[in-house]
Amino acid sequence: MKAFVYERYGPPETLRMAEVDRPAPDVEAVLVKVLAASVNAADWHVVRGKPLFSRATLGLLRPKHKILGVDVAGRVEAVGSGVARFQPGDEVYANLLDHGYGGFAEYVSVPVDAVSPKPASLSFEEAAAVPMAAVTALQGLRRHGELRPAQTVLVNGASGGVGTFAVQIAKAYGAEVTGVTSTRNLDLVRSLGADHVVDYTTTEDVGDGRRYDLILDTVGNKSVPDLRGALAQGGKAAVTGFTSVARLLAVSLRGGKDIAQVQAHVTTKDLELLSELVEAGRVRPLIDRRYRFADIPAAIAYLEQGRARAKVVVAVP
């Protein structure tokens, strides 16, 4: 099968298309014919092996995962002998971050516990856009932020992969949502249902000067005191991104109980909840760009520029 192999750290062009052996499903796994994948900000960090400390888990001298790619949607090709829940032909989606990566390939073997039925109303490309970004938004808002109806919620980076899901999820839970983005994306964020928008090019504030019950900071460019200063009494902030190692450490070390760095781990329970929100018409993945399989390095390079509007997806032949 065709796959993008990853042998050394470097820019996205370091990834090389190659013929590799098609995997066979383990006893408790499902072989998925990948029809679409999505690209995440983590991909360019991982390709470059940056920040450097991440190589402690990614591989000290060279990457230990040979094929990258975490978000996939496709059809079940074969099932392991211990799998009863799925059969060949089923349409599924999954996230492989905690399951050895491998999504930038024509086939991937996925542990059955990580596979969910694809929401029927989504195309494969739309479904592949969901897992990492939407679950990060969901876990940031609900697990760390304890999202409740009628709360005031601020989403920093509301036009990005995580932010576009976060605005819609917070609205679906009945929150009053403010989205922060730049001038060119204000209408996009309004169209997602945000009640208020803030143009970060015209203000240094965290939001619009009000205090929020919950802040989801997908950019990670705010200091801990600034985030805390924008929280209402008892409010919480969940930070998913970081713009420097110093910012990451500051949130981790000085965030306390109210400001947490989110490390999302996608579960099928989360994906099933998202499928329900999708099928109820409350959440819809937005696609910024579609790339061909051969252009995966270009898709990652585009995301690295930090200007993506919602999700970047790849059609797999």
Residue that the structure tokens 């696609």 belong to: 287
Residues lying near ligand NAP in the complex (CB under 6 A) are found at 40-42, 132-133, 136, 156-157, 159-163, 180-182, 185, 200, 218-219, 221, 240-241, 262-264, 303, 306-309
Smallest separation, CB 19 to ligand NAP (Å): 31
Nearer to ligand NAP, 31 or 264 (CB): 264
- CA 303 vs. chain centroid, Å, equals 12
Q: What is the largest CA-CA distance in the chain?
A: 59
- Measured from the CB atom, the residue of 83 and 153 that comes closer to ligand NAP is 153
> d(Cα 10, Cα 296) in Å, to the nearest integer?
15
Instruction: Give me the least distance between CB of 113 and ligand NAP, in Å please.
Output: 19
In the 8-state DSSP scheme, what is residue 234? E
In the complex with ligand NAP, the residue whose CB is nearer, 30 or 127, is: 127
Closer Cβ to ligand NAP, 157 or 235, answer by number: 157
112 vs 219 by CB, closer to ligand NAP? 219
Residues 94 and 270 sit within 8 Å (Cβ to Cβ):
no
Per the structure block, which two tokens stand in for 50? 């940056």
> Would you put residue 250 in left (φ > 0), alpha (ψ -120 to 50) or beta?
alpha
What is the number of other CB atoms lying within 10 angstroms of the CB of residue 183? 11
**Residues in contact with 306: Cβ distance below 8 Å, sequence separation at least 6, in sequence order:** none
Nearest approach, Cβ of 87 to ligand NAP (angstroms)? Answer: 31
User: Smallest gap, in angstroms, from Cβ of residue 197 to ligand NAP?
Assistant: 11
Closest separation in Å from C-beta 89 to ligand NAP: 31
Task: Find the radius of gyration of the CA atoms of the chain.
Answer: 19
Instruction: Choose between 106 and 304: whose C-beta lies nearer to ligand NAP.
Output: 304
CB of 125 to ligand NAP, least distance (A): 16
